[in-house]
Structures are given as structure tokens and as C-alpha cells.
Structure 1
Amino acid sequence: MKLPAYLGLGLVLILGGAYTGYWFFVAAKLQAGIEAWVAEQRAAGIGLTFADGSISGYPFAFRRNFGAARIDIPGASPVSLATGSLVAEMRPWNINQVTFAANALDLTLGADSYRAAEAQGSVDIPKAPPADYHQPFLGFAVSMGDLALPAGKRAVTAGPIERLTVQGAIMGPVPVAPDLGQALSGWASAGGVLEVKAFAFSQAPLQATGDGTLALDEALQPLGALSLHAYGVAETVELLAQDGLLDARSAKTAKIMAQGLAKTDDSGRLRVDLSLSLQQGYLWLGPLKLARLPALRW
């Protein structure tokens, strides 16, 4: 039996009205949640500035344009993050994931400042807080382009990193503390780790992808293990040696290892698969000390 046309239209209107009511109800909750969170952070001494606005994006998104936004976190080594523009978005069918896009992003860690021309990514918020360090506190994915390093710092070179992409999860509860350093200390000492599910790095002459696990030692400096698929390894070793960051013996050993591990990929390029470690303030290739890591100040 065919449903009369007017009944079908009526059903569509009822469902559309119910969805519209749901969208505006959730949008109001999100707006109230943002305002409550901002008030809570400001009461804790964290500085927050952003453009006034409301939730938009009906019917397929919940979108908030924060404009030129800034957050300042006090502490022994203050942290600040500022953007030329910031837009955050949720989908009605997945309100536990927030995507964002920003330009002219400035990150300051103590005396060190980093600047990215643009950044985009997402944050995945679990439905329940982690009960232990086998569960995620927060999932994330971020990709930045044209990332300028602080004066006197370098990755492969001192020039901008062309592209840096990281996807992973912060595992385990992060304690509430007066500043970031104390929060990280409590998280790390209790077993917290950063699972890096995928990353990509590009700064000529090196290109690399991989995954790994990172943590913080007692001094809140990075330690961990990474698996890499890298291109331009021999050229990178040569460059580090020329700049005095690798002695002649270490450079020779690194080149021999790279040549021995190199394989031709499907495109005809030489790829080197490496296992790296971060410990004692250095990046290591097996027993070979490749480079000093920049000291993190929290």
C-alpha cells in the first residue's frame, strides 16, 4: 500500500523539525559549555582572549569562529598560544571530535617561540575519562606547514620545517595542578605516555614517516622509541657533519648503516628504515649519537 504524498511530506516535516530542535538545543549547550569552561580557566589564572560569537553551521555542523584567539598559561616556564584566526567545528553525528583550522599560529614555551603559517587537525574526546594508563585522555591529529623554529634552534637545519604531521593519543589521567610542569610531572611519574600512531616530517634534505611511543623522564625531557621510513638520510648525515654536529667517525658509521639499510621503493627512490631512540637528551641510531635534542622548559 502506497503512503499518500501528504503523509510522506508530513513525516519529512516532523523529522526535519525534530532535527532542527536537536541542533539548536545542542548548539545552546555547546555555547554554554564554552562560556563555563572559559570562566573556569580564567578563575584558575589562565588568560583567554578570543572574538565574541555564537555557534553556527546549521544543519550539518556546529561551528565556532574564535577569530584571533590567545591562551596564556602561567608557570615557572609560561606557555602561550596565539592564532591569527581559529575556527573549531563538530559534526552533529560525532560531537566527541572537534576539528580546527588556524593560520599564523604562534607557540611560546618559556623563552622559545615557534610560528606556523597554518595548522589544522582534530581532537578526540573520550566519552569517559581514562581509568588507567591503558586508556586515552585525549586523541589528536595536527598538521602544520612552514613551521619556523626559535632563534638558535634547528631540526635538520635552522630553516622552517616544511611540513610536520602527528597523529596520536595522550594515554592515562592527567592530574589537575597549578601549572603545566606539575601536571606533566604527575602524569609522567604515574606512567603516562604519548602514543604516536603516525607522523610525517619534511625538511630538506630529510623526509620521514613513522610511529612510536614517547614519554617524559624525571627532568620532563623526552624519551622513547621511533620507527622511521626515511629518505635523504645520507645527505642529512653529510649536512650534520659539515655543520659540526656529527664528528667524522660518527658520520662515517651513520653513512655505512644508512647504505646497508637502504632499499629501493616502488618509485625508485632509496628509502632507509630506521629505529631511533630518544634518551639522555640525544637522538640515537642504535649506539650512534646523532644529535642533541633541544631542552624543553615547562
Structure 2
Amino acid sequence: MRAKPLISSVILLGLIAAGYTAWWFYLAGRVRDGIADWVAQQRAEAALIEYRDLEISGFPLSLTASAADVSIRRADGLQWRGPSVIARARPWYPLDIGVELPGSHQAGLVQEGGEPTFAIDAPAGARGSVELEHSGAVRRMTADLGRSTVTLPDGQQASLGRAELAAAFPETPPADHTATALSIDARLTGVRPPPSVKTPLEGDIETAAVTARIKGALPDRLGRPAIAAWSESGGTIDVDSLTLNWGPLRIAGQGTLAFDGDLQPIGAISAAVEGVNPTMDSLATAGMVRPGDAAMAKMALTLLSRRSTPDNQPIVEASLTAQDGWLYFGPIRLLRIPRVSWE
């Protein structure tokens, strides 16, 4: 009589194991089909996607998709390539995916003539995650890059100690320009400007961080027509938090950014700024502001301050304004903003 419960347990465990195995292989097939459908959709939109050795593995505790020599080139100039891509999920919750990019990876935006306008090289790879809705739509994405090199439009290179990025999408796309289409949280540390660029402050930028919401229907391409259509329909970027720590300079603020009719940045950030006096001295030393203007600015900004740091440095609360190609701090014109080229 005692054998019957044991036999029943063995049969039950066998059924559970068979059901789980069937579930894993069903998910593996869905993953393979999903990748094929996505590639076909991108290729239909004139994207060139290449890869080899696509493999679905990890049974029984992981659902792992991997491919080698992956490269993507989109019609709008966005490119990315790397030696390997690995994505892992738990079979019992396949909507939360961890992504690894081992080896050296390169991404960038390339002009029609073939010259890169912006590129990033991560020699030690990166890692991140993707969270999906049950519908398959992306809910949230993250990326964590180690030390990397950024090539700017003029060919000069800056370096990053680390870059952490997160993007979240709403459940439903925005119906108009007042609704959020994308939330972004970005944090850069150890930013070293190009050696040949004259900067107002010495040393690396310790921290540059922003939390923002892009409002209005997102453009499906990065070219000028799509960005212009988004801007003309009322699209803006609400900056919920902006932080910059660079030498003696400390900035914390929030505000709104947009583009003017020529697609150049405009907007205003209400900011609390520490280190005004040494920063103005550095601007004057670097030849970016005339010494007399720097002295006047220090006096004017000190009058605007209502608080001070423990070492009696003024904390100035005023607007950082981008307008007509210039950056203003309160009533004082500081720096010319580099022109954005969309060609």
C-alpha cells in the first residue's frame, strides 16, 4: 500500500518536469521567432542587420539567446556593432531580460557621406536590462558602460569613466505634446573633455546627471525632418533634475528645453549654483570671458545670492538660459553654445 503514494509522487513529478520542459522549449521558439520578426521588420525599414551563430540555450534554469558578430545600420545613420550579444531571462518570468555585451562595442550616428557625427567606443563592453510589457512592448531599458571614448562631431575625443542610462516608456503613447513619451535618467562620472579643447575649469567633470521627460510623440528617426516635426508639434524636454559637479562648480536645477525654428537648443533651467567666483576666475583665465566682465559678473551674481556655503562662498539662484546661440546665467551672457548640425 505504501508504494502507491510513492508512485503517484513520481508520476506527478514526471508530469511537472514534462510540462516545464515543454514550456521552456515553447518559450525558446517564441524567442527565436520574435528575433526573426524584429529583424524582418527592421530590414523592411531599410536597416541592415547582420549576425551569426544565433543560439537559444540555458535549459533548464535560464532562457539565453546569444549571437556573434552583430551589426546594425539604420537608414537614419544610427549604427552599432559588437563581437557578441547575450540576453538572459528566467523561464518563469521571461519579461525581465538581462543583457550582456562582452568585448569591444561601437555605436554612433553617421552622416550620409559616411562621416560620423557622434560615436562611442566601449572597449570593455557593457551590460543592461530590458523590461517588457505582456504585449511585448518595452517598458524600461537600462545600460551601464564602463570606461569608454566618445568621438565628437569635430573628430575630437572625450572619455567617460562610467555612463549609466535608463529609459522608461508609458503604457500608452502620448496623445499630444503635453504627455510624456519617454522618461530618461542619465548619470556620467569621470568625464574628461578632449585634450585640445579649452575648458573653463581644469580636471575631469566629476558628475553630470539628468532626469528628464520627453513630451510629445517621439520621432521615429533622428534626422532633421522628424526632429522638426516633433518640435513644431510642441515637443519639449522637461528637466526634472540636473546636476553638475566640476571642480569648484556645483549646479543643481530643473527646467524645460526645446528647439527653435532652426532646431537649435533653447530653454531655461532654474539653478542653484555654488563656486561662482572661482568659476568666473577660471573663465577669465581661459580667455572665455574678459577679466573685466568676469569681475562685474562676480559682483552681480553675489548680489543675487541669498545663501552661502560653510566657507562663505555665495550660492546663487538664477536661471541658466539658452537663447540665440548663447548661454546666459541670470542677466549675464556666459558662453556661445556650439551649433547643432542635423545634416
Same fold (TM over 0.5): yes
2:142 equivalent to 1:102: no
Q: Alpha carbons of 1:240 and 1:78: their partners in 2 closer, same or farther (altered >3 Å)?
A: closer
Q: Deviations over 1:197-253 (max 9, x none)?
A: 111111112111111111122333221101112211111112112222222442233
The one-letter code matched in structure 2 to 1:242 is T
Alignment equivalent of 1:79, drawn from 118, 123, 129: 118
SS of corresponding position for 1:90 = strand
TM-score by length of structure 2 reads 0.70
Q: Provide the C-alpha distance between the structure 2 equivalents of 1:55 and 1:156, rounded to a whole number of angstroms.
A: 42
Q: Alpha carbons of 1:92 and 1:25: their partners in 2 closer, same or farther (altered >3 Å)?
A: farther
What is the correspondence of 1:27-46 to structure 2 with a 5 Å cutoff?
31=35, 35=39, 39=43, 40=45, 41-42=47-48, 44=75, 46=78
Q: Deviations over 1:96-121 (max 9, x none)?
A: 11111112333334224433121112
Match of 2:9 in 1: none
TM-score by length of structure 1 reads 0.79
Asked if the contact 1:250–1:288 (Cα under 8 Å) also holds between the matched residues in 2, the reply is no
Q: Provide the C-alpha distance between the structure 1 equivalents of 2:119 and 2:196, rounded to a whole number of angstroms.
A: 20
Structure 1 position 271, deviation (Å): 2.4
Unaligned runs of 5+ in 1: 1-9
Unaligned runs of 5+ in 2: 1-12, 49-73
Q: Number of paired residues?
A: 287
- What is the alpha-carbon root mean square deviation over aligned residues? 3.6
Alignment equivalent of 1:90, drawn from 130, 137, 141: 130
Match of 1:62 in 2: 97
Asked if the contact 1:156–1:206 (Cα under 8 Å) also holds between the matched residues in 2, the reply is no
Say which one has the larger Rg: 2
SS of corresponding position for 1:272 = strand
Q: Deviations over 1:132-187 (max 9, x none)?
A: 2112232111111121223544553364322111110222123345x533332332
2:133 equivalent to 1:133: no
The one-letter code matched in structure 1 to 2:146 is N
What is the correspondence of 1:203-218 to structure 2 with a 5 Å cutoff?
203-218=246-261
Structure 1 position 78, deviation (Å): 3.1
Structure 1 position 286, deviation (Å): 2.9
Asked if the contact 1:56–1:64 (Cα under 8 Å) also holds between the matched residues in 2, the reply is yes
Asked if the contact 1:229–1:273 (Cα under 8 Å) also holds between the matched residues in 2, the reply is yes
SS of corresponding position for 2:242 = strand
The one-letter code matched in structure 2 to 1:210 is G
SS of corresponding position for 1:132 = coil
Q: Provide the C-alpha distance between the structure 1 equivalents of 2:85 and 2:209, rounded to a whole number of angstroms.
A: 30
Structure 1 position 32, deviation (Å): 5.4
Which is bigger in relative contact order (C-alpha 8 A, separation at least 6)? 1
The one-letter code matched in structure 2 to 1:231 is E
Match of 2:186 in 1: 142
Structure 1 position 188, deviation (Å): 2.3
Structure 1 position 57, deviation (Å): 4.5
SS of corresponding position for 1:107 = strand
SS of corresponding position for 2:146 = strand
Structure 1 position 64, deviation (Å): 1.4
Q: Provide the C-alpha distance between the structure 1 equivalents of 2:140 and 2:311, rounded to a whole number of angstroms.
A: 36
The one-letter code matched in structure 2 to 1:71 is A
Q: Provide the C-alpha distance between the structure 2 equivalents of 1:246 and 1:182, rounded to a whole number of angstroms.
A: 36
2:264 equivalent to 1:221: yes
Q: Alpha carbons of 1:53 and 1:262: their partners in 2 closer, same or farther (altered >3 Å)?
A: same
More displaced 10-residue stretch of structure 1: 184-193 or 114-123: 184-193
Asked if the contact 2:275–2:313 (Cα under 8 Å) also holds between the matched residues in 1, the reply is no
Give aligned-pair identity as a percent: 23
Asked if the contact 1:282–1:292 (Cα under 8 Å) also holds between the matched residues in 2, the reply is yes
Q: Provide the C-alpha distance between the structure 1 equivalents of 2:132 and 2:197, rounded to a whole number of angstroms.
A: 42
Q: Alpha carbons of 1:182 and 1:93: their partners in 2 closer, same or farther (altered >3 Å)?
A: closer
SS of corresponding position for 1:150 = coil
Alignment equivalent of 1:195, drawn from 238, 244, 255: 238
Q: Deviations over 1:53-88 (max 9, x none)?
A: 442153774111123332343326633333221212
Match of 1:255 in 2: 298
